[in-house]
């Protein structure tokens, strides 16, 4: 599988809002850092560590923004 095929698989998983499918692409010790986390936590933290923390964060995001999706670029 090349990187473009992998990216399409990930985007399709995200757009389906299937968190278990999305998270299957990551190890248990996933760590993400984004300004959006700081906004969601009131500035308390900007990083999340571990699948469970990321799962809960993404779950809340998808509940709050049910139309959230990623576009596939033709480039």
* Count, residues in the chain: 75
CA 45 vs CA 11, 26, 50, 65: distances in Å: 26, 21, 14, 21
What pLDDT is stored for residue 64 in this prediction? 86
**Is the predicted pLDDT of residue 75 greater than 60, yes or no?**
no
Do 46 and 33 contact (CB within 8 A), yes or no? yes
Average pLDDT score over residue span 21-31: 95
Q: What is the pLDDT of residues 41-52, one digit of tens each?
A: 888 889 999 999
Q: What is the DSSP letter of 32?
A: E
Q: What is the pLDDT of residues 3-12, one digit of tens each?
A: 999 999 999 9
């Amino acid at each position: 599988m090349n990187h473009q095929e992998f990216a399409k698989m990930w985007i399709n998983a995200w757009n389906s809002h299937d968190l278990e499918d999305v998270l299957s692409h990551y190890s248990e010790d996933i760590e993400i850092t984004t300004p959006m986390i700081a906004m969601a936590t009131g500035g308390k933290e900007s990083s999340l560590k571990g699948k469970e923390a990321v799962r809960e964060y993404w779950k809340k995001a998808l509940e709050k923004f049910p139309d959230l999706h990623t576009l596939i670029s033709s480039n």
